[in-house]
Structure 1
Amino acid sequence: MSKRTRRIDYWQAPDAPKPTSRKTSASVFVRDDQGRLLLLKRVDNGLWTIPTGGVKKGETVGQAGVRECREETGLEVEVIGLVGVFSTPDHVIAYWHGDRIDEVRQPINICLRARVVGGRIAPDPSEAAEVSWVAPAELDGYPVHPALRARIDHGLRSTEPYIS
């Protein structure tokens, strides 16, 4: 087994490992003028997602979302609203290093609406294998984890913030 860290997401899985931590992440839901959604393909599990990452000490949730988008896609965004707060215990993430689990996280995600204000698509190869603008009608052709798809679907369907 590879010695690099890999990630396995569980959704509504009774056999999932029990959480050992609870951490906050920020994600950004970004659409272009044609209504397409910004997605990236994760290198650690091969799934498509919106830009997402942990909130670091000393930064706000908004700053974390902006930073993660820049790091993962090369695009500069500004926060313009809230998609919602997603904290369901149905989603658990196991982080493996080699043949052992380092951490099992039950995430708390704050998903922000954002718009592009600069930059160019230039994915960081350690974070994103690919970055693409995807029309909502084409989303079913992209493998997206159910927890992330819930954020995306709510962002497309409603302007009212979701709280779970």
Structure 2
Amino acid sequence: MGRTEYYNDPAAPAANTLIPASNLLVANRNGAILLQRRRDTGQWALPGGAQDIGETAAQCALRECLEETGIAAEITGFLGVYTNPDHIVAYTDGEIRQQYETTYIGRPVGGTPTVNDEADAVRFIRPTELDHYDIHPSMRQQIGDYLAGTYPYLG
């Protein structure tokens, strides 16, 4: 299923769903941040996705990280709640979702960066190299909040 992201775009379609999702910002001991290149948009992003019934937001973040990157992680902190009504994701099946993400901070505890159905590249990227990657503005905000130490973000 394809998707189109709108960010502060007055031409964005109106949202018809609000789905809780969780991300995990994983930093290794050298300070590099785990990112995946999404197959559906070609942009680099933190691992994350929609929360399943029966799991907590934190469990969702850990599950999504492992599924999307091959990296098992543990949560070490909370980055924030990101709920920008001007960040809209339109899916080809007709769902138009308003952003609602809880983002946790974690560290790797096992696994190997692995590509999959959702990500065609996975790697740890040093903060000084981030400007060389196509990263969606919403992900840049979350990474920026982490690097600046300005969290938790409650928006």
TM-score (norm 1): 0.92
Q: CA deviation at 1:123?
A: 2.2
Instruction: Give, in whole Å, the separation in 2 of the partners of 1:147 and 1:117.
Output: 26
- Structure 1: unaligned runs, 5 residues or longer: none
How do 1:120-139 residues align onto structure 2 when only pairs under 5 Å count? 120-124=112-116, 126-139=117-130
Secondary structure of 1:149's partner? helix
Instruction: Give, in whole Å, the separation in 1 of the partners of 2:127 and 2:53.
Output: 34
Moved beyond 6 Å, runs of 4+: none
- Structure 2: unaligned runs, 5 residues or longer: none
Q: Which has the larger radius of gyration?
A: 1
Residue 31, structure 1, aligned to residue 27, structure 2: yes
Q: What is the RMSD computed on CA atoms of the aligned residues?
A: 0.9
TM-score (norm 2): 0.97
How do 1:42-81 residues align onto structure 2 when only pairs under 5 Å count? 42-81=38-77
Residue 83, structure 1, aligned to residue 79, structure 2: yes
Task: Name the structure 1 match of 2:133.
Answer: 142
Identity %: 37
Residue 108, structure 1, aligned to residue 108, structure 2: no
User: 1:37 touches 1:135 (CA, 8 Å); kept in 2?
Assistant: yes
Instruction: Give, in whole Å, the separation in 2 of the partners of 1:135 and 1:81.
Output: 20
User: 1:71 touches 1:123 (CA, 8 Å); kept in 2?
Assistant: no
Instruction: Give, in whole Å, the separation in 1 of the partners of 2:136 and 2:114.
Output: 23
